[in-house]
Amino acid sequence: MIDSILETRGLTKRFGGLVASKAISLDLRQGEIHALIGPNGAGKSTLIKQIAGGLQPDEGSVHFDGKDVSKLSTAARARLGMGRTFQISSLAMEYTVLQNVVLGALGHRGNVFWFFNNVMKDAELLETADAALTKVGLEDFRNFRASDLSHGQRRQLEVAVALTLDPKAFLMDEPMAGLGAEGSQQLIGFLDTLRHQAPILLIEHDMDAVFSLADRVSVLVYGEIIATGTVDDIRTNSDVRNAYLGEEGAA
Amino acid sequence: MSWILLIEQTLNGLQFGVMLFLMAAGLTLIFGVMGLINLAHGSLYMVGAFAAAAVAAATGSFVLALVASLVAAAFAGVLIEVLVIRRLYDRDHLDQVLATFALILIFSEGTRWAFGSFPLFLDRPEYLAGTVTLPFGIEYSKYRLSLIGIGLLVAAGLFWMIMRTRIGIRIRAGENDREMIGALGVDISLLYTLIFALGAALAGFAGALIGAIQSVQVGMGEPVLILAFVVIVIGGIGSIKGALIGAVLVGLTDTLGRFLLPQIFGLVMTPSAATSVGSSLASMSIYILMAGVLLVRPKGLFGGA
Amino acid sequence: MTKETLLNAVLLCLLLAVPLIAWVSDEPFIITLTTRAVIFAIAGIGLNFALGFGGLVSLGHAVFFGIGGYVMGILAYHAQTYTPLMEWPFAVEGTKSMLIVWPVAVVVSGLAALAIGALSLRTTGVYFIMITLAFGQMLYYFTISWSTYGGEDGLSIYVRNTFPGLNTMDPIQFFAICYVLLLIVLIGVHCAARSSFGLMLRAAKQNEERVQAVGQGPYRLYLIAFTISGAITGLAGALFADLNRFVSPTMLSWHTSGEIMVFVILGGVGRVFGPVAGAALFILLEHSLGGLSEYWHIYLGAILLGVVLFARGGLYGLLAGREVAHD
């Protein structure tokens, strides 16, 4: 328990009669990739919103780095070190690639209320920004507008911005979505090394990615975690095979 | 302070409120269904009033004048919907604000050009002139009482239409999901034009009815437009029920504020100071009401979560 | 040099050259007209700070313009009637000195923007538009009923406020004061646009979720932007009242709010120099169309409609193309 950076305890969220999250308890430990899988509509997005902020659970709490962060805003949780990437790329689209990463570095550094500096000439921020771009392989696209990037490059940029935050944990919502086979392979390789910098809570549809990357897997069905375990545990778990991998299991 | 005067002022507030509702209903429908903020709604109010005044002057018939206000405002509404508004549904609010502000300039100056700057007068019909005696011996203007009746009738009709008729079902569907009504095979663009025309007709109708109490002049729609905005912000944008309750609240607050505040301040101040402080506070009272509502409910009383 | 920089330079030169030529050829009316354009430009730059950089569609900026005007009017009124502004808890006298009037106008309108912004920014989108409009009306009606300072009729000031070493009643000298203030405001806003704050604010306009994800709350950014915006517009209001030696509730009417927004749109939303071009174009249109027809607002409406529907970048979008990323 001591080395778990992120933990949810009994998160429950109802929308009218629908229970979107049912007493969800899971944790993310240092150095691991914990994958969260589940069929569409299982409540993955609802869960990540409660973890990252922006949606208050009806019951239960979120603990991050030893603190109860349930009442904190999204921004405050990000400052504590939650590095989030979004399912649908969420960037400042009119900004260049470099401006987007500098934005991340600036958000992390704080001191936002400076009115007379030239932020794009700030050596400290540029250094952080360039390091992040190099890490994801976007260094040649510094001056491209985010809106001119390909889909895959936007995903890379999201990860780069998250890197500038020097997070204690990453929350990644389907980072592989829409990437080609080659792009996915590259990103898998990258995430594989990233886990040593900070653990990753990975929400992903791509089963190959999950099974090749994850240290542990949790399966979410109808708002409830029906199993958590290693890849092998999950592969052989009969509940999971019935509820989720049913079709593949039968084949 | 006499109770009779208080009841009379309350009725005035109610009358003001139901007229505001006619404006606010159209605005809130148009925003709820089409997502459009329409500053030119006040111009449609003005168009209705001018049409009524012109027809009344030509024919002498108040009923014909009211019909003219409905037709002219609906026609103007369809015209601007087809020519301009239609292009704005997918734009951001800034574009909508600016384009409809431009329409106000065009309508106001166009009307000034056609009718001149002097106010016109629309006489209330003889059968509604004078007063009627209510219970407790209260004398009240027949015309204002009719306005309350007409406003409540229109409100009832609107609720019936939205809850019970096919077009109402489509309107409610449109509020929830634009694509869905497209999938249902409804001609969205026609539906939008119809809703806009309905909102316009209601605004024009209100313009004509009020025109018989006040004068008919260029710019008359703008104060009412802004009050109607306050109404729908209080009631919750998109909610007809909210518009009705908000309108009555605003009508009563404004009228009773003007009546009561100077008297209340009169208890602790000299009469002239009380009148001055009371009336300036009264002119701000509905905005204070609005700020108060928003502090508690940022989306208005009946706005979505 | 980018096209935009070139356009900026041409614009500033024109704004300087026109009144100088008018001065040489003794046409004070043209000087006053250009002064109006310069003051409107400052008001527009103020609104653009909230609208263009923060995406805050405020339809109540006339309030700050009007507050600036009334600050000037009230201070001057007490100075010219030799009555104290207040005696309790401490005595405050009126003043005719621009060097005092400006900071007071900036601070008071900034504080008003802080208060109105703090409430209005609890809402978003169309609610925000309507609420700023409603607060605008509230203060508009307040000034109408404020009989101490003229109520609906407004306040007249006999002579312009004073500036050390200058004769402010001379049109060209008053123009020079306004022009220099415009330059100062432009430099300040240019710096702010590329500062840490500017980067974060303009990011919030594009994507609030992104700003939150990097650990910053949009509310504070918006509130500060709105406050600065109101303060700049207030300065313009003080100058405008000084130009006319008159202040009335009309300065706070929502038509004024709409017009300030028109300056911003005609020039180009979110461009530092956009409102300068927009205000100049507005004055040009007012002057040329106003000469053509008494009903020139019809043409103004048609042009505005055209810009909104077909030329969304305004003059700057048309002439300088898409905004180049700040380096």
| Pairs of CB atoms within 8 A across B/C | 119
In a domain, B225, yes or no: no
Within its chain, how far is the Cα of B17 from the centroid? Answer: 8
Given B102, B276, B300, which is nearest C305 (Cβ)? Answer: B102
Q: Provide the CA B261 distance to its chain's centre, in angstroms.
A: 25
Is residue A49 pLDDT above 80, yes or no? yes
Using an 8 Å CB-CB cutoff, list chain C residues near B103. 301, 305
For B227-248, what is each residue's pLDDT tens digit? 999 999 899 888 888 999 999 9
pLDDT digits (tens, 9 = 90+) for A208-234: 788 888 999 999 888 889 889 888 888
Element (H, E) at C310: helix C296-310
Residue B259 inside a domain? The answer is no
Check: CATH 1.10.3470 for C3-320?
Answer: yes
Q: How far is Cα A211 from Cα A199, in angstroms, rounded to an integer? A: 16
Among residues of chain A, what percentage have pLDDT more than 90? 54
Contacts of C53 in chain B (CB under 8 A): none
SS3 C216: coil
Residue with tokens 């405008």: C240
Peptide bond into C89 cis (omega under 30): yes
Q: Cβ separation of C198 and A119 shorter than 8 Å?
A: yes
pTM for the whole thing? 0.91
Whole-angstrom distance, CA of residue B206 vs CA of residue B215? 13
Q: Which of C198, C200, C206 sits opposite A94 (nearest CB)?
A: C206
Domain extents for chain C?
A: 3-320
Distance from CA of C248 to the nearest CA of B (A): 16
- Element holding C61 (H helix, E strand): none
Instruction: Tell me if chain C has a CB within 8 Å of the CB of A142.
Output: no
Residue C219 contacts B where some CB pair is shorter than 8 Å: no
Nearest to residue C122, comparing CAs of B229, B291, B245, B285?
A: B291
List, for residues C31-40, the tens digit of each pLDDT value: 999 999 999 9
DSSP state letters, chain A: -TTEEEEEEEEEEEETTEEEEEEEEEEEETT-EEEEE--TTSSHHHHHHHHHSSS--SEEEEEETTEE-TTS-HHHHHHHTEEEE-SS----TTSBHHHHHHHHHHHHH------SS-GGG-HHHHHHHHHHHHHHT-GGGTTSBGGGS-HHHHHHHHHHHHHHT--SEEEEE-TTTT--HHHHHHHHHHHHHHTTTS-EEEE-S-HHHHHHH-SEEEEEETTEEEEEE-HHHHHH-HHHHHHTSHHHHH-
Residue B285 domain-assigned?
Answer: no
Least confident window among B117-121, C104-108, C170-174: B117-121
Which ranges of chain B does DSSP label H, i.e. alpha helix?
3-34, 41-59, 62-83, 93-115, 142-164, 166-176, 178-183, 188-211, 221-235, 240-266, 271-296
Residue A196 touches chain C, beta carbons under 8 Å: no
| CA C140 – CA C160 distance, rounded (Å) | 24
> How far is residue C64's CA from residue B288's CA, in Å, rounded to a whole number?
19
Interchain CB contact of C266 with B (< 8 Å): no
Cα–Cα distance for residue pair B275/B265, rounded to 1 Å: 8
Range of the domain at B129: 11-218
Are A75 and C224 an interchain contact pair (Cβ–Cβ within 8 Å)? Answer: no
Q: What is the mean pLDDT of chain B?
A: 87
Tell me the per-residue pLDDT of B179-213, one tens digit each, with 9 for 90 and over.
Answer: 666 666 667 888 889 999 999 999 999 999 999 88
Q: How deeply is C82 buried, as exposed, middle or buried, from its count of CB atoms within 10 A (0-12, 13-18, 19+)?
A: exposed
Q: Do A86 and C194 touch (CB under 8 A)?
A: no
* CB–CB contact C262 B31 (8 Å): no
Collapsed DSSP state (helix, strand, coil) of residue B140: strand
Contact status of C184 with chain A (Cβ, < 8 Å): no
User: DSSP secondary structure string, B73-118?
Assistant: HHHHHHHHHHHTGGGGTTS-HHHHHHHHHHHHHHHHHHHHHHH-SS
Could you tell me if A207 lies within 8 Å of chain C, comparing CB atoms?
no
Q: Does A156 touch chain C (CB under 8 A)?
A: no
Instruction: Identify the band that residue C90 occupies on the pLDDT scale cut at 50, 70 and 90.
Output: confident
- pLDDT, tens only, B15-49: 999 999 999 999 998 988 888 999 999 999 999 99
Can you give the pLDDT at residue B305? 44
Closest by CA to C8, choosing from C323, C325, C327, is C323
Cβ <8 Å between B84 and C309 = yes
Of A75, A86, A115, the CB nearest to C197: A115
> With an 8 Å Cβ cutoff, are B295 and C119 in contact?
yes
Q: Which of B99, B104, B290 sits opposite C308 (nearest CB)?
A: B99
What pLDDT shows up at residue B177?
A: 64
Cβ pair C216:A111 closer than 8 A: no
pLDDT in tens, C130-182: 889 989 989 999 999 888 888 889 999 888 999 999 998 999 999 999 999 99
Asked if A136 and A183 count as a contact pair (C-beta separation under 8 A), the reply is: no
Torsion of CA C176, C180, C185, C188, to 10 degrees: 170
Task: Please name the helix (run of DSSP H) or strand (run of DSSP E) that holds residue B133, with its range, or none.
Answer: strand B131-134
Element holding C215 (H helix, E strand): none
Q: Is C192 on the interface with A (CB under 8 A)?
A: yes
Band of the pLDDT at A245, cuts 50, 70, 90?
Answer: low
Q: Count the Cβ atoms, other than its own, within 10 Å of residue A184.
A: 18
Element (H, E) at B302: none
Q: Between chains, do B105 and C300 touch, taking CB under 8 Å as contact? A: yes
| A165·C215 Cβ contact <8 A | yes
Does the pLDDT value for residue A181 go beyond 90? Answer: no
Hey, what are B282's tokens? 């009264």
Across C13-34, b (16+ Cβ under 10 Å) vs e yields eebbebbeebbeeeeeebbbbb
- The model's pLDDT over A55-66, given as tens digits with 9 standing for 90+, comes to 899 999 999 998
Q: Do chains C and A touch (3 or more CB pairs under 8 A)?
A: yes
Q: For residue A251, what pLDDT is reported?
A: 37
State the nearest Cα–Cα gap between C163 and chain A, in angstroms. 28
CB pair distance less than 8 Å for A99 and C194: no
Would you say residue B252 lies in a domain?
Answer: no
Q: C122 to chain B nearest CA, in Å? A: 7
CA distances from B89 to A235, B95, B97, B188 (A): 50, 10, 12, 12
With beta carbons less than 8 A apart as the criterion, state whether A211 and A9 touch: no
Tokens of A152: 């895959």
Nearest to C216 among A91, A93, A112 (CB): A112
The confidence band for B129, taking pLDDT boundaries of 50, 70 and 90, is confident
Q: How many CA atoms lie within 13 A of C313 on its CB side?
A: 11
In the stretch 133-152 of chain C, residues with CB closer than 8 A to chain B read 133-135, 137-138, 141-142, 144-147
Q: What is the pLDDT of residues B55-114, one digit of tens each?
A: 999 998 999 999 999 999 999 999 999 999 999 988 889 999 999 999 999 999 999 999
Contact C213 A74 (CB under 8 A): yes
Concatenate the DSSP letters of all residues of C227-257 into one string. HHHHHHHHHHHHHHHHHHTEE-GGGGSHHHH
Note whether residue B197 is domain-resident. Answer: yes
Pairing of strands A4-15, A18-29: antiparallel
* List of chain C residues whose C-beta atoms are within 8 Å of the C-beta of residue A116: 191-192, 195
Cα–Cα distance between C167 and A186 in angstroms, integer?
71
Q: How many CA within 13 A on the CB side of residue C194?
A: 16
- Candidates C199, C212, C214; nearest CB to A119: C199
Q: What is the mean pLDDT of chain C?
A: 91
Q: Do chains C and B touch (3 or more CB pairs under 8 A)?
A: yes
Better-scored residue on pLDDT, A159 or A177: A159
Report, as an integer, the average pLDDT of C5-21.
93
**Structural domain total, chain B:** 1
Chain B residue with CA closest to C51: the answer is B94
Query: Is A115 in Cβ contact with C191 (below 8 Å)?
Result: yes
* Inter-chain CB proximity B105 and C308 less than 8 Å: no
DSSP element (H, E) containing C93: strand C92-93
Distances (CA, A) of C188 to A115, B115, C317: 9, 48, 22
Interface check B37 vs C, CB under 8 A: yes
Residue whose C-alpha is closest to residue C99's, from C196, C198, C225, C238:
C238
What's the confidence (pLDDT) of residue C237?
Answer: 97
**Helix axes of C196-206 and C28-54: crossing angle, nearest 10 degrees:** 70
Residues in C closer than 8 angstroms to B250, CB to CB, are: none
Q: Is C162 helix (H, G, I), strand (E, B) or coil?
A: strand
Q: How many CB atoms lie within 10 A of CB B3?
A: 9
Domains in chain A and their CATH numbers?
1-81+167-251 (3.40.50.300), 92-166 (no CATH)
